[in-house]
């Protein structure tokens, strides 16, 4: 019979809730620092567990590693993020856990920072938006029907204008609801669609194409660089990426490249058959044949992708709030016009 404080009991309680990003960042920061001091992984995990808030995580990882699981499966059992477990899958080849942990920490920290900034940017505009939606509903159900009754039967332009304004407000509300529902359905349905059906969407829808293009190019570049640095050949690296099915897109592209290579095409020709890879990535293989130069260029390219994505996200965050305020201002003007313009028209005809 296990006590309540045993690792198995803690695992039972812990497995039902995902690990918070804050604890993941703290764990990788502490553990990578200890690994940099030269301690082996098991000792580093024990020392990381000195912190009471990290102790359950360390115990689960220790238990899993001692039973023979690789580090990415151990982190999966400890409820780390999917992006982290996918990233650590490739660390079993190059054995530089300290660097892998730092990269995971940086990746999680970047996601957390942008999520926090996004929520801060949207907080006030969303509050105003919800307030306006409530105001529109009240106007539609109380004020406007009374005005329509007032103008009805007078055979003037005020009645027509009021009805048109009411239809315009209804159309704006319907369009807003449609956009929110479409976004929600896309988030729910898209992960359940097979990759073959998603590829045309990724290639044709601009926003999806931008995201998937940079995501696939960054992941492929980063992991190919780390595998080549570990001493694997390009073919062995592609086979390892292909076999990791959690990265469906780059796994599919790796298989396509390997098929083209086996049919006699060069790597530069093969990678051009992957339309979602960025031109910067395909150009690297077109102009570089030496493996050492290729590794250097892949490292620079991975840093470029990261910096470019940071710049783009920062730019979008700066645009979101003014765009929301403009939308809200337009809604306020429409509400004001829907009430006052027919009223002024009616007063001029008296």
Residue 130 within any structural domain of the chain: no
Q: Is 121 inside any structural domain? A: no
The single-letter DSSP state of residue 205 is S
Rg, the chain, Cα only: 28
- Does residue 6 form part of some domain? no
The domain boundary residue, chosen from 108, 138, 172? 108
In a domain, 122, yes or no: no
Q: Are 60 and 191 part of one and the same domain? A: no
Q: Which residues of 194-225 are buried (b: 16+ CB within 10 A; e: fewer)?
A: eeeebbeebeeeeebeeebbbbbbbbbbbbbb
Residue 96 lies in domain: 21-108
Cβ atoms 335, 139 nearer than 8 A: yes
The residue from 47, 82, 108 where one domain ends is 108
Q: Would 1 be classed as within a structural domain?
A: no
Residue 264 and residue 178 in one domain: yes
Say whether both 224 and 283 belong to one domain.
Answer: yes
**Number of folded domains in the chain?**
2
Q: 199 and 298: one domain? A: yes
pLDDT tens digits, the chain, 350 residues: what are they?
A: 444 444 444 444 444 567 888 899 999 999 988 988 888 888 999 999 898 889 999 999 999 999 988 888 898 889 898 878 888 887 777 667 888 888 888 888 877 887 787 777 777 777 777 777 777 777 777 777 776 676 665 555 656 666 676 777 677 777 777 877 877 777 787 778 888 888 888 888 888 888 888 888 888 888 888 788 877 888 888 888 888 887 888 899 999 999 988 888 888 788 888 888 888 888 888 776 677 788 888 888 888 888 888 788 777 777 777 877 787 777 777 667 666 766 666 666 65
Q: Which two tokens stand for residue 312?
A: 């783009």
307 contacts 214 by C-beta, under 8 angstroms? no
In this structure, what are the phi and psi dihedrals at residue 13, rounded to the nearest 5 degrees?
A: -70, -35
Domain end among 108, 132, 165: 108
Q: Is residue 179 part of a domain?
A: yes
For residues 101 and 159, membership in a common domain is answered with: no
Could you tell me which of 349, 282, 304, 325 has the C-alpha nearest to residue 129?
325
| Cβ neighbours of residue 274 closer than 8 Å, sequence gap 6 or more | 253, 256, 257, 282
Q: Is residue 102 located within the same domain as residue 182?
A: no
pTM exceeds 0.85 for this model: no
């Amino acid at each position: 019979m296990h006590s309540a404080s045993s690792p198995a009991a803690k695992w039972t309680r812990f497995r039902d809730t995902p690990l918070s990003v804050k604890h993941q960042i703290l764990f990788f920061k502490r553990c990578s620092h200890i690994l940099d001091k030269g301690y082996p992984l098991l000792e580093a995990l024990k020392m990381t567990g000195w912190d009471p808030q990290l102790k359950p995580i360390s115990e689960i990882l220790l238990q899993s590693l001692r039973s023979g699981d690789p580090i990415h499966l151990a982190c999966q059992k400890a409820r780390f993020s999917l992006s982290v477990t996918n990233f650590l899958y490739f660390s079993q080849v190059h054995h530089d856990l300290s660097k892998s942990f730092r990269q995971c920490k940086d990746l999680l920290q970047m996601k957390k920072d942008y999520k926090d900034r996004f929520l801060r940017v949207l907080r006030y505009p969303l509050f105003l938006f919800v307030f306006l939606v409530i105001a529109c509903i009240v106007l539609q159900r109380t004020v406007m029907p009374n005005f329509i009754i007032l103008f009805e039967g007078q055979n003037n332009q005020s009645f027509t204008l009021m009805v048109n304004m009411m239809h315009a407000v209804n159309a704006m509300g319907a369009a807003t609801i449609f956009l929110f529902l479409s976004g929600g359905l896309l988030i729910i349905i898209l992960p359940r669609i097979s990759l073959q059906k998603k590829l045309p969407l990724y290639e044709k829808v601009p926003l999806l194409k931008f995201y998937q293009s940079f995501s696939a190019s960054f992941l492929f570049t980063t992991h190919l660089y780390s595998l080549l640095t570990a001493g694997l050949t390009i073919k062995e690296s592609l086979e390892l990426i292909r076999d990791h099915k959690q990265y469906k897109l780059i796994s599919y592209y790796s298989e396509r490249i390997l098929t083209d290579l086996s049919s006699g095409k060069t790597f530069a020709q093969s990678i051009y058959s992957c339309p979602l890879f960025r031109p910067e990535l395909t150009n690297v293989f077109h102009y570089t044949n030496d493996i050492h130069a290729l590794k250097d260029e892949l490292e620079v390219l991975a840093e470029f992708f990261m910096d470019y994505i940071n710049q783009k996200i920062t730019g979008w965050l700066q645009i979101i709030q003014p765009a929301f305020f403009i939308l809200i201002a337009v809604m306020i003007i429409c509400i004001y016009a829907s009430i006052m313009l027919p009223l002024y028209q009616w007063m001029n005809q008296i």
